[in-house]
Amino acid sequence: MAARDEVLRYADEYLRVSAYAEFGPSGAQVLGAEEVTSIACGVSSSQELFTRAGATDAQLVIVHHGLFWRTEPLVVDRRLRGRLQALFDADLTLAAYHLALDAHPEVGNNVQLARRLGVSVERQFAEIGVGGTLEEPVGVEAFAARVRGVVQREPLVFPHGPDPVRRVAVSTGASGHSLIAAAREGYDLFVTGEAEEPNLHAARELGIHLVAGGHYATERLGVQALSAHLAERFGLEWAFLEVENPI
């Protein structure tokens, strides 16, 4: 068992949340039980996730995509009311970590995905992503198969770069806008979650591969790595709750 505020304070410091200009509040968004024995984690806030978290007897829910965003109206509508009620009913604390969790060098979405794809991370890319070199160069089809195996879905592939692939940049989620930066920095292939409409022709004209594995699917890893880290440090249980999203 650990004090809620101690766990949250440590997580904020570990992730360096104050270093990022966020789209919404980082860290605690809803406060529940003051003591924590178990963490439930998921990618995105939803009534389904919070209801299932309550059923696990967790006291703390960690998500990548929180409840509140600068781009959304600050009105408690039926959607927010249902989510908040699920949290209140189970006395759950909700903590959300977005850009800070993308960027972290150990538990971040980008470094976690890169490592699973066989990328030896060498440097930061586009502020929150990572760039590096494959341990062994492979063809784009073989690399896409690696992505498929990790994200557990068929990736979108624009195969317009060099073969074999040696240098790879990774920026999960909605980072299709970073394709041009990846090409300019000399990467052979760019991995992201969601492609953008201009990406097809940009990839062709710049001579770079793009592999998009899904926004949700490429951002499963960070919340799990963070939860495992907190559980080990504070002697807690943890579980990942899959709430599938095809986007």
pLDDT digits (tens, 9 = 90+) for 1-21: 999 999 999 999 999 999 998
Q: What is the mean pLDDT of residues 169-174?
A: 98
CATH of the domain at 167: 3.40.1390.30
pLDDT digits (tens, 9 = 90+) for 230-240: 999 999 999 99
User: Is 90 exceeded by the pLDDT of residue 191?
Assistant: yes
* Helix extents (H) in 23-77: 47-55
The residue segments making up the domain with residue 91 are 2-98
Residues 6+ apart with CB under 8 A from 125: 110, 131, 169, 170, 171, 178, 181, 182, 185, 187
Boundary (domain end) residue, out of 48, 67, 98: 98
Note the pLDDT tens digit of each residue in 73-110: 889 999 999 999 999 999 999 999 999 999 999 999 99
What is the rounded average pLDDT for all residues in the chain? 97
* Residue 227 domain-assigned (yes or no): no
**Which residues fall within 8 angstroms of residue 94, CB to CB, at 6 or more apart?**
28, 29, 30, 32, 45, 50, 61, 63, 66, 67, 87
Task: Give the pLDDT confidence score for residue 206 in this predicted structure.
Answer: 98
d(CA 72, CA 57): 30
Q: Is a pLDDT exceeding 90 seen at residue 154? A: yes
Does residue 160 lie in a domain region? yes
* Secondary element (H or E) of residue 43: strand 38-44
164: cis peptide before it, omega within 30°?
yes
Question: Are residue 125 and residue 143 in the same domain, yes or no?
Answer: yes
Residue from 91, 78, 93, 4 nearest 47 by CA = 78
**What beta strand segments (E) does 116-197 contain?**
119-125, 129-138, 156-158, 165-171, 189-192
**Same structural domain, 45 and 66:** yes
What does the radius of gyration of the chain's CA atoms come to, in whole angstroms? 19
Beta bridge partners of 65: 44
User: Which residues, in sequence order, are bridge partners of residue 131?
Assistant: 123, 169
Report residue 146's pLDDT band, with 50, 70 and 90 as the boundaries: very high
**H-assigned helices in 18-108:** 47-55, 78-89, 99-103
Domain boundary among 98, 129, 159: 98
The answer to whether position 51 is within a domain reads: yes
242 part of a folded domain: no
Beta bridge partners of 190: 169, 210
Residue 133 structure tokens? 């070199």
Whether the predicted pLDDT of 112 surpasses 90: yes
Predicted confidence band of residue 151 (pLDDT cuts 50, 70, 90): very high
Q: What is the pLDDT of residue 147?
A: 98
**Count of domains observed in the chain:** 2
Condensed to tens digits (0 to 9), the pLDDT of residues 47-78 reads 999 999 999 999 999 999 999 999 898 899 99
Helices (H), the chain: 4-15, 47-55, 78-89, 99-103, 109-116, 140-151, 179-184, 199-206, 215-218, 221-234
Contact 143, 135 (CB under 8 A): no
| Element (DSSP H or E) covering residue 60 | strand 60-65
Q: Do 67 and 169 reside in the same domain of the chain?
A: no
pLDDT of residue 74: 85
What band does 145 get if pLDDT is binned at 50, 70 and 90? Answer: very high
**pLDDT of 41 over the 90 cut:** yes
Sorting pLDDT into bands at 50, 70 and 90, what band is 199? very high
Grouping H, G, I as helix, E, B as strand and the rest as coil, residue 65 is strand
**pLDDT over 90 (residue 180):** yes
Distance CA(190)–CA(11), nearest Å, equals 29
Choosing from 56, 83, 98, the residue where a domain stops is 98
